[in-house]
Structure 1
Amino acid sequence: MRPEVFKMIDRVVSIDPGLETIHCQGLVPHESSIFDGHFPGHPIMPGVLLIEAMAQTTGWLVLARNRFDKMPFLATVKEAKLRTFVLPGQNLDLYSHIQHEGSGFVVAHTKALLDGKPICNAELVFRVLPWPEGKMKDVVLKVAGHVEFPVADFTDA
């Protein structure tokens, strides 16, 4: 996990064959510039970055469902609940389950667990659109390799 550059997922653990659920992991770094101000002497992972980690987890699932032909953009965060603090060095298990897809939108239930206990959850809504001009898709495919995403299983290439 490199939260200062919004790389929140370290590894895609599994994607179910029906492309309904995904499990990812992210290790909160021991050192990061985000802890300089949050909070000095008492580092705590910002809640907004926990939501971002859940969003990125869902994003990988949406990419798989669309065979990397379209890109998900986070549109809405609903019913977000943050239950406890997350500290440097803790490993997060992140899950997402697609509840609905249609009309260019995806709705997913997401959660983050720490040692098997829920620490946060939210309903996230994504807009699914064509890739923007440029090399964004290439960059995402490169990141997929770093997080052990099985790209060959979900692309036509």
Structure 2
Amino acid sequence: MRPEVFKMIDRVVSIDPSLNKIHCQGLVPQESSIFEGHFPGHPIMPGVLLIEAMAQSTGWLILARNRFEKMPFLATVKEGKLRTFVVPGQNLDLYSEILHEGSGFVVARTQGSIDGKLICSAELTFRVLPWPEGKMKAVVMKVAEHVSFPLTEFVDA
């Protein structure tokens, strides 16, 4: 996990064959610039980054469902709950499940846990659109390799 550059997922652990569920992991780094002000002497991961981690987990699932032909953009966060502090060195397990898809939108339930204990959850809505012009798709494909995303299963040659 490199929260200072918004790379919150270290590994895609599994994707359900039906493409409805995903499990990802991110190890909260021991040191990061985000902890300098949040908070001195008591570093905790900002809640907005927990939401970003849940969104990225769901994003990988949406990319798989669309065979990387379209890109998800976070549109809405509902029922966001942050239950406890997340500190450096903890391993965050992220789970997302698609609830609804249609008209260019995807709604998912997502949650994060540490050692099996629920620490955050939300219902997220994404707008799914064509890739913007430029190198964004190539950058995402490179990140996919880094997080052990099974590209050969989801990208047409």
Q: Residues of 1 paired with 2:26 and 2:3: CA distance?
A: 10
**Structure 1 length as normaliser, TM-score?**
1.00
Structure 2: runs of 5 or more not aligned: none
Q: Match for residue 3 of structure 2?
A: 3
Mapped to 2, the partners of 1:37 and 1:133 lie a distance apart of 36
Aligned positions of 1:5-154 closer than 5 A: 5-154=5-154
Structure 1 gaps of 5+ residues are none
Aligned-partner Cα distance in 2 for 1:17–1:150:
12
RMSD: 0.3
Deviation for aligned residue 1:63: 0.1
- Equivalent position amino acid for 2:71 in 1: M
Partners of 1:36 and 1:138 lie apart in 2 by: 32
Following superposition, the deviation at residue 114 of structure 1 comes to 0.6
Report the secondary structure of 1:149's partner residue.
coil
State the Cα distance separating 1:61 from its structure 2 match: 0.1
Q: Give the letter aligned to residue 75 of structure 2.
A: A
C-alpha distance after superposition, 1:73-93 (max 9, x if no partner): 000000000000000000000
* TM-score of the superposed pair, with normalisation by structure 2: 1.00
The CA deviation at 1:154 is: 0.3
Poorly superposed stretches of 4+, deviation over 3 Å: none
Whole-angstrom distance in 2 between the partners of 1:29 and 1:79:
27
